[in-house]
Amino acid sequence: MRALPQAFFERSALEVAPALLGATLVHEVNGMRRAGRIVETEAYLPDDPAFHGWNAVDPTSGMIRLTGRTAPLFGPPGVAYIYLVYGMYWLFNIVTERPGTGGCVLIRALEPLEGLSAMMEARGTSRVRALCNGPGKLVQALGIRPEQQGTDITLGPLFVEPADAKAGYEVGCSSRIGLTRGIALPYRFYFDGHPDVSPGIPSDIAVARRQSKLARGVRALDAQKHRRGRGDGV
DNA sequence: ACGAGGATGCTCT
DNA sequence: GAGCATCCTCGTG
């Protein structure tokens, strides 16, 4: 096992997130490896409104108000931060920065490499496609459990192996996916054109689409009202 | 192909 | 009580 060491994670999530692309996330379950190449990540920073610990630091005293959920985010780097979203799916993050600073990287998608049949079984599917192309899916596939919250991922059984070859993909950057705050910050990194990148739409684009659709609806309604007003039909 | 809607439980913006 | 760092299924083309 040649796991990425703590020093790799002891810097800004903005550096760690793109640096993780091409590395391999490994989980050893019952002596068997399940592994995938990291193809999509997102950075979450201390002063970022989408970061779970963004308001944990009191600006006047500088003291950190730790809650049960966010405490690991301000602990040592290279530790798992796992949390439940939408009451159903667990998402896997790696804590970054030196203790007390706050920050993490969300692993959003993997290219499945090892233990495919175990991953398919864990996901309840007989297809290899769409096995790990989303943050909730890859947690299911690798069998990452909420009890692993706070564990050191430089030791295993859950760890990251460094990339051993050029990936052959350009690194793309966009806003993050599925957010309502901090939607324009360019903190998402991915292998451009890789088939296992998640199908999500960057938040700023998604919001713009919703608004233009809404505007179209309003215009259609106005036109209808106008026609009715002139008595041309239903 | 896409879009809408529902499931579901924890945290607190 | 609202709001989620999501995913799946079921409608329409």
pLDDT one digit per residue (tens) for chain A, 234 residues? 799 999 999 999 999 999 999 999 999 999 999 999 999 999 999 999 999 999 887 777 778 877 778 999 999 999 999 999 999 999 999 999 999 999 999 999 999 999 999 999 999 999 999 999 999 999 999 999 999 999 999 998 999 999 977 779 999 999 999 999 999 999 999 999 999 999 999 999 999 998 887 777 666 666 665 555 555 444
Distance CA A135, CA A155 (A): 22
- Picking from A223, A174, A229, the residue whose alpha carbon sits closest to that of residue A203 is A174
CB contact at 8 A, A69 and A85? no
Chain B: positions less than 7 Å from a protein CB are 4, 7-13
Q: Is the CB of A181 under 7 A from strand C?
A: yes
Beta-sheet pairing, A171-174 with A104-114? unpaired
Tokens of A94: 């790696």
Task: Give chain A's end-to-end CA distance (angstroms, integer).
Answer: 72
Q: Give the C-alpha distances (Å, rounded to integers) separating A132 from A49, A122, A140, A141, A142.
A: 27, 11, 8, 7, 9
Distance CA A42, CA A198 (A): 12
Distance CA A148, CA A80 (A): 7
Q: Is the CB of A104 under 7 A from strand C?
A: yes
Q: Is the CB of A17 under 7 A from strand C?
A: no
- How distant is C1' of B1 from CA of A207, in Å? 21
Nucleotide nearest to A132 (CA to C1'): C7
3-class DSSP assignment, residue A107: strand
- How distant is C1' of C13 from CA of A37, in Å? 36
Report residue A40: phi and psi, to 5°. Answer: -155, 130
- How distant is C1' of B2 from CA of A91, in Å? 26
3-class DSSP assignment, residue A6: helix
CB contact at 8 A, A39 and A111? yes
DSSP classification of residue A166: -
Q: Is the CB of A130 under 7 A from strand C?
A: yes
Q: Is the CB of A55 under 7 A from strand B?
A: yes
Distance CA A108, CA A147 (A): 20
CB contact at 8 A, A73 and A95? yes
